[in-house]
Amino acid sequence: MGSGTFKLPTGEYRFTSEQLSIAGDQKVCIAPSIWCIHGEYEAFGKYIVTKSNVTAHLAQIHPFTLGWIADLHFRSDRAEVVREQIDRLSLCNPALTVFGGDIVSGSGEYSGSDMDDSWFGAVWDYAKDRLSNHLWVKGNHDIDPNSYFYYNWFERLWTLRMGRCKFVAFDGYNEQSLVPGSCEPCLSLPDVLWLKRKLTEDELNKVILVHQPLEQWFPHAPWAFKDASNVKSVYSGHSHDIIYAKGLFKEISDIPNYINGSCHGKELQVATLTIFTKDGKEQTVLVNGGIGVDETSDGFDITAPGTVNWKKEKVLSTVPIRLIRRIGEHDLNMIALVPSETQASIRIQTIGRDVEIVGDMEMYVLGKGLCSEESPYDSWGCSCGTIWNSYRIAAGNTFRCAFE
| Whether residue 302 sits in one domain with residue 397 | yes
Return the bridge partners of 330, or none. Answer: 327
| Whether residue 190 sits in one domain with residue 42 | no
Please list the pLDDT of the chain residue by residue as tens digits (404 residues). Answer: 579 999 999 999 999 999 999 999 999 999 999 999 999 999 998 999 999 999 999 999 999 999 999 999 998 778 888 899 999 999 999 999 999 999 998 876 666 667 888 999 999 999 999 999 999 999 999 988 778 899 999 999 999 999 999 999 999 988 887 776 777 788 999 999 999 999 999 999 999 999 999 999 999 999 999 999 999 999 999 999 999 999 888 888 899 999 999 998 778 999 999 999 999 999 999 999 889 999 999 999 999 999 999 999 999 999 999 999 999 999 999 999 999 999 999 999 999 899 999 999 999 999 999 999 999 999 999 999 999 999 999 999 999 999 98
CA distances in angstroms from 49 to 4, 85, 141, 269, listed in the order given:
16, 28, 33, 35
Distance CA 144, CA 116 (A): 10
Model-level pTM greater than 0.75? yes
| Whether residue 321 sits in one domain with residue 192 | no
CA distances in angstroms from 100 to 20, 103, 281, 379, listed in the order given:
23, 7, 21, 30
| Whether residue 176 sits in one domain with residue 116 | yes
| Whether residue 156 sits in one domain with residue 90 | yes
* Three-state secondary structure string covering 9-51: CCCCEEECCCEEEECCCCEECCCHHHEEEECCEEECCCCEEEC
Q: Identify which of 215, 127, 135, 221 has the alpha carbon closest to the alpha carbon of residue 174.
A: 221
| Whether residue 225 sits in one domain with residue 80 | yes
Burial 326-341 (b: 16+ CB within 10 A, else e): eeeebbbbbbbbbebb
* Number of domains observed in the structure of the chain: 3
**Rounded (5°) CA angle 240-162-245:** 30
Q: What is the pLDDT of residue 111?
A: 62
| Whether residue 101 sits in one domain with residue 48 | no
Domain that holds residue 371: 292-403
CATH number at residue 203: 3.60.21.10
Q: Identify which of 186, 173, 167, 158 has the alpha carbon closest to the alpha carbon of residue 102.
A: 173
Distance CA 1, CA 107 (A): 34
Q: What is the pLDDT of residue 176?
A: 83
| Whether residue 301 sits in one domain with residue 233 | no
Asked whether 130 and 69 are in contact (CB, 8 A), the reply is no
Q: What is the pLDDT of residue 2?
A: 73
Last residue of a domain, one of 287, 304, 339: 287
Residue 188 gets which letter from DSSP? -
Distance CA 84, CA 54 (A): 35
Distance CA 387, CA 379 (A): 7
Last residue of a domain, one of 261, 287, 313: 287
| Whether residue 90 sits in one domain with residue 228 | yes
Distance CA 367, CA 121 (A): 33
Q: What is the pLDDT of residue 153?
A: 96
| CA-atom Rg of the chain in angstroms | 21
| Whether residue 137 sits in one domain with residue 51 | no
3-state secondary structure of 320: strand
Last residue of a domain, one of 265, 287, 309: 287
